[in-house]
Amino acid sequence: MTDTTRDSREAAERAPTADRPADQSWRVVPAPPMRRAQRQDLRTAIAVDLGRLAASMSRRLGMGSGGMIGGRLALSVQPRALRTLATGRRVVMVTGTNGKTTTTQMVAEALRSQAPAVSNGTGANMLDGHVAALMTRPDAPFAALEVDELHLAQVTEQFEPAVILLLNLSRDQLDRVGEIRTVAASLRRALAQAPGAQVIANRDDPNIVFAAADHPAVTWISGGVRWKDDALNCPNCGAFIGDTDRDWRCACGLARPAADWTVTGTGAVSADGSHHELALSLPGHVNRVNATFALAAALHLGCDEDASLARIGRISEAAGRYQTVRLAGRDARLLLAKNPASWLEMLDLVDGGDEPLVLVVNSREADGYDVSWLWDVDFEVLRDRPVRVAGDRALDLAVRLRYAEVPCAVSSDVDEALAGSATGVPDVIANYTAFRDLVTRSRR
């Protein structure tokens, strides 16, 4: 029996099933011994050297972090660079519509409690970004890599990750990504190509359940669902599911699986009933969910729980998210919201506060040109709270807020919005390109 077959069979025996008894206990399976990364062939070595040089020049010339250009050049020289650089490592891939960057950073920090780990922390989440991250330390035994939802299948064609995290699926960049059903089907194909990987998946999202249900080794995380409008119908047959907070079961056989981990108001409970406290620097329920995914991955790979949680708990920002920065002569906290699901989480985070609030929306290529999703966001929670809006689509946002009966003032840019805000530390909620530009400005 080959090692891959044996690992797959053992993983299948550990996988939760609908028939598992209620008194099941979740156990940590020790990771296999770490292997040395294989010696690079000459072509790969040249590709890595050229990629590193390109990344370094990009940073020195102020053209970017080098998180893409180095990997892109390396792949042009050695098309098999990703497969070669991943060989011999324990790689964790993190995908989903929301929370990829933060969860990837949590995973990377947890893994570093045991051994060196590389990560694409800049958010370059396609193949060139993966190569760029892996070539920074070819000897690192661990890697935590964020991957775009539609590119996971390309990754699993190249190599089999040790762990794959599936966070959630919601509508986002419809003009680029397409409908959620397309993404869910792509994830399902990706998992079929990696039968030996341990999948850690969101059991509260029917789209994720559809993608992972047939995989032989799945750990199911339950963190609750706030944004439900993309999961009202069965992704397998189209039948109406309704309230996904209950233990739903569709006539076609797709059903909400039993939870291996359940996120609470203070931490997470494993299937055996033990409570694991999550003392996080990052705010909100959404980050307890992210941390639970990261903890489950770290434990599967043999990391110590206390050491992993200590490192996760020290994370106070993730690529600028939740960070307090200096803009227009005053402090401001930056929050990223790029689609209805993430806007819902960020509005919940600032709900009840009295700090000034600035909302910024662009519609550039990286955001998606379609901003009709603004009408799906429950801005009504901001009623009676003064808001200033800015960005390329400030007027569209102002119209939406007017219908939500939220008082707002339109500003020509973020500086003007901040200058006109009341005293205090404003919360600036911005979508992708607006957020990226503000982070870049704050680091100059």
Q: Name the percent of the chain lying above pLDDT 70.
A: 89
pLDDT category of residue 11 using cuts at 50, 70 and 90? very low
Across the strands, what pairs with 142?
90, 117
- pLDDT at position 386 is 86
pLDDT category of residue 176 using cuts at 50, 70 and 90? low
Active-site residue (options: 260, 370, 378, 415): 370
- pLDDT at position 337 is 95
Q: What residues contact 440, with CB distance under 8 A and at least 6 apart?
A: none
Q: Which residue has the higher pLDDT, 36 or 260?
A: 260
**For 154-166, what is the mean pLDDT?**
97
362: pLDDT strictly greater than 90: yes
DSSP 291: H
According to CATH, the superfamily of the domain at 3-313 is Mur-like, catalytic domain (3.40.1190.10)
Q: Which of 216, 431, 414, 275 is nearest to 342 (CA)?
A: 431
Q: Are 166 and 199 in contact (CB under 8 A)?
A: yes
Q: Are 71 and 128 in contact (CB under 8 A)?
A: yes
pLDDT digit string, tens, across residues 317-346: 998 999 999 998 999 999 999 989 999 999
Q: Are 220 and 285 in contact (CB under 8 A)?
A: no
DSSP 140: -
370 classed as catalytic = yes
Three-state DSSP class for residue 259: coil
- pLDDT at position 117 is 98
User: Which letter, b or e, does each residue of 269-293 get, where b requires 16 or more Cβ atoms within 10 Å of its Cβ?
Assistant: bbbeeeebebebebebbbbbbbbbb
DSSP 255: B
To the nearest whole number, what is the mean pLDDT of the chain?
A: 87
418: pLDDT strictly greater than 60: yes
Q: Name the percent of the chain lying above pLDDT 90.
A: 65
Which CATH number among 3.90.190, 3.90.1150, 3.10.50, 3.30.70 corresponds to the domain 324-442? 3.90.190
115-119: Cβ within 8 A, 24+ apart:
115/34, 115/140, 115/141, 115/142, 116/140, 116/141, 116/142, 117/141, 117/142, 117/143, 117/144, 118/142, 118/143, 118/144, 119/143, 119/144, 119/145, 119/146
Other beta carbons less than 10 A from residue 399's beta carbon: 14
Q: Are 158 and 198 in contact (CB under 8 A)?
A: no
Same fold: 3-313 with 324-442: no
C-alpha pair distances (Å), 322 with each of 78, 315, 375: 38, 10, 25
Q: Which residue has the higher pLDDT, 232 or 89?
A: 89
C-alpha pair distances (Å), 21 with each of 25, 212, 241, 300: 9, 21, 25, 22
- pLDDT at position 175 is 56
- The domain spans of the chain are 3-313, 324-442
Q: Are 4 and 196 in contact (CB under 8 A)?
A: yes
C-alpha pair distances (Å), 404 with each of 12, 240, 338: 49, 29, 19
| DSSP per-residue codes, 210-244 | HHHTT-S-EEEEE---S--TT-SB-TTT--B---T
- Residue numbering of the annotated binding site for Zn(2+): 234, 237, 250, 252
Token pair recorded at residue 229: 């409008």
37: pLDDT strictly greater than 70: no
**For 12-21, what is the mean pLDDT?**
42
- Residue numbering of the annotated binding site: 234, 237, 250, 252
Q: What share of the chain is helix, strand, coil (3-state, %, to 5)?
A: 40, 15, 45
Q: Are 152 and 164 in contact (CB under 8 A)?
A: yes
| DSSP per-residue codes, 60-122 | HTTS--STTHHHHHHHHH-TTHHHHHHTTSEEEEEESSSSHHHHHHHHHHHHHTTS-EEE-TT
409: pLDDT strictly greater than 70: yes
pLDDT category of residue 17 using cuts at 50, 70 and 90? very low
**pTM for the model:** 0.86
**For 274-302, what is the mean pLDDT?**
96
pLDDT digit string, tens, across residues 39-63: 568 888 888 888 888 878 877 877 7
9: pLDDT strictly greater than 60: no
C-alpha pair distances (Å), 267 with each of 98, 111, 182, 285, 295: 20, 19, 33, 9, 11
Q: Which residue has the higher pLDDT, 14 or 395?
A: 395
- pLDDT at position 1 is 44
C-alpha span between 439 and 444 (Å, rounded): 9
Choice among 18-32, 280-294, 335-349 with the minimum mean pLDDT: 18-32
pLDDT digit string, tens, across residues 372-405: 999 999 999 998 888 999 999 999 999 999 999 9
Three-state DSSP class for residue 269: strand
CA atoms in the 13 A half-sphere facing the CB of 380: 5
pLDDT category of residue 19 using cuts at 50, 70 and 90? very low
Q: Are 55 and 44 in contact (CB under 8 A)?
A: no
66: pLDDT strictly greater than 70: no
